Amino acid sequence: MQITLVHVYRVRIPFSFSVDHNLKKRNCSESLVISLHADNGKIGYGECTPRTYVTGESSEGVWNSFQEIIQHWPLPRIHKLEDIFEFCKKLEEAYSLPSLICAWEMALLDLWGKQERLTMASLLGREESFDPQYSAVLPMLPRLKLEHWLKKIAALNLAHIKMKVGHEGDVDDLALARMIMGPEVDIRVDANRAWSLAEASQKLEEFRPFQISCVEEPLQADVADKLPELSQRTDIPILLDESLCRKEQLLFYLNEMPANSFMVNLKISKLGGLSKCSEIYRLAHKEGVPCQLGCHVGETAILSAAGRIFAQHHKLKYLEGSYGPFFMEDDIARQPLFFSSRGRADRIEGNGLGIEIDPVKLAKYSEL
């Protein structure tokens, strides 16, 4: 199978309302989509979401690297599955851009799965099977809007939700959430690197009456090296996101912190693709560290499908994603992915990513 044509799209889909947290405010999606056209007529799709505040990658930098590869690299010829991983390894050696590797690997796996009539899970060698169960994630919202959305979420009977904290009034927001959701719902919080060590210690004590299950990225970037010290000050597990983007970082935390004191927030784009994501999951799982599969705000159905497939074959503590229909104007798939009551969602069992991209919508919301 010879790749004959590559398209890269900068995709921006408007949101129905602003999605805010401590590090960023967004009114539209921001991702890069790659389509690989093969000589057999099939097309494979991949997506990445570069985030400067997560991995240091800018969308512009990854966009330029895509252009450089298309202009100067020979288009890959794929005869077997190993050819995909070998090509991605060469990209990794040339570019320290996990988002770039993610999009290429995903598109190649999607294409290979379609040709060989294989699921993405089989390409990753995963045989275990789990039913995905999604969480809701609430951005920073004015009190009346927050109450509105909490009541809508409560009506879905979700088992767990995540709330953004690190802003004035977050204690009152948590009190409102616990009152509406009741005592049984698992509530976790995400500070997006809002606090100093002393502030984090104080805030976690203030949150204690609301029985939060974990706190995601509590410390500011310049004191993030004190996460092990914070873990000694609190019995609330710390969920690592921006602080864990490579296998070496996981090994560091395994050496510095007890396995029951932290969790890992896996994200397919920030870790460099499905295979790297699965590798870090296996190491964490082996050491007894729970994992969440997270997502970046505004992922399209491509990354949502990849995330759901991953969740179907990896045992996760929490699952995020498939949020598009809740706050995005549209999506680029013919059938957008979402979840319903209790966070349940249809399984994806088709070849490759198992979804169909609408080329008209892709062109409408993107720059080629």
Each residue's pLDDT expressed in tens, for the chain with a length of 368 residues: 999 999 999 999 998 776 766 666 678 889 999 999 999 999 999 999 999 999 999 999 999 999 999 999 999 999 999 999 999 999 999 999 999 999 999 999 999 999 999 999 999 888 899 999 999 999 899 999 999 999 999 999 999 999 999 999 999 999 999 999 999 999 999 999 999 999 999 999 999 999 999 999 999 999 999 999 999 999 999 999 999 999 999 999 999 999 999 999 999 999 999 999 999 999 999 999 999 999 998 899 999 999 999 999 999 999 999 987 777 899 999 988 999 999 999 999 999 999 999 999 999 999 88
CATH of 136-343 given 3.20.20.120, 3.40.50.20, 3.40.50.2000, 3.90.245.10: 3.20.20.120
DSSP H or E run through 65:
helix 59-72
Q: Where in the chain does DSSP place strands (E)?
A: 3-11, 14-20, 25-28, 31-38, 43-48, 136-138, 160-164, 186-190, 215-216, 238-240, 262-266, 291-293, 318-319, 366-367
Q: What is the SS3 assignment for 319?
A: strand
* Superfamily of the domain at 3-121+359-367: Enolase-like, N-terminal domain (3.30.390.10)
Residues 316 and 305: their CA atoms lie apart, in Å, by 16
pTM of the model: 0.94
d(CA 340, CA 356): 21
Quick check: 165 and 347 in contact, CB under 8 A? no
Counted residue by residue, the chain has a size of 368
> Burial code of 212-232, b = ≥16 C-beta within 10 A, e = fewer?
bbbbbbbbbeebbeebbebbe
Residue 264's SS3 state is strand
Domain(s) of CATH 3.20.20.120: residues in the chain = 136-343
Distance CA 359, CA 223 (A): 45
Residues of the chain within CATH 3.30.390.10 domain(s) are 3-121+359-367
User: Nearest 5 degrees, angle CA 213-CA 218-CA 221?
Assistant: 155
